[in-house]
Amino acid sequence: MSWPAEIHSVESEVNPPPDRTDSLYFVFYKEQIVHAPDDGYDGDDGDDGVRWFPLSQSVWESEDWGDLTEHYMGVCRDQPCFAVDLATEVRGKRFTGLRDLFDRTGRMMLMLAGRATQIIQWHKTHQF
């Protein structure tokens, strides 16, 4: 099995950049990802005519997310990417499982969402 060619455009880094403009946020609550279909994408491929895309910086900053844990994942196509684990559910947001995204996003975004959930689970299970 070989990795998709797109994987080479992801650069893992340790320290987030000081400027978070154009960042992407993969936001989870209890292993479910925030479904914000209207953010950052103007197309429609899903069963209900909506595609999924991670939250943009503007949407991230416009909400009160409460207690959370944030993990910097690196850069994809010059956009910093963050995995976020919410401590409590945010009202008015729709959450969905990763499998529901299979036909609603591209391979790169699905791979990054999968990586985000792996980082969050590792953080939860490897604390001392």
> What local confidence, expressed as pLDDT, does residue 44 receive?
40
Q: Does residue 94 have a pLDDT over 80?
A: yes
> What local confidence, expressed as pLDDT, does residue 74 receive?
92
Q: Which domains does the chain have, with CATH numbers?
A: 8-125 (3.90.79)
Q: Which of 84-92's residues contact partners 24+ apart within 8 Å by CB, and which partners?
A: 84/25, 84/26, 84/27, 84/28, 84/116, 85/28, 85/29, 85/120, 85/123, 85/124, 86/27, 86/28, 86/29, 88/29, 89/29, 89/30, 90/29, 90/34, 90/63, 90/64, 90/65, 90/66
Q: Does residue 83 have a pLDDT over 60?
A: yes
- Mean pLDDT of all residues belonging to the chain: 81
φ, ψ for residue 116, nearest 5 deg: -60, -45
Q: Does residue 1 have a pLDDT over 70?
A: no
* Cross-strand partners of 118: none
Categorize the per-residue pLDDT at 60 as very low, low, confident or very high, splitting at 50, 70 and 90.
confident
Q: Provide the whole-model pTM.
A: 0.81
Q: Does residue 42 have a pLDDT over 80?
A: no
Of 37-41, 87-91, 108-112, the poorest mean pLDDT is in 37-41
Q: Does residue 43 have a pLDDT over 50?
A: no
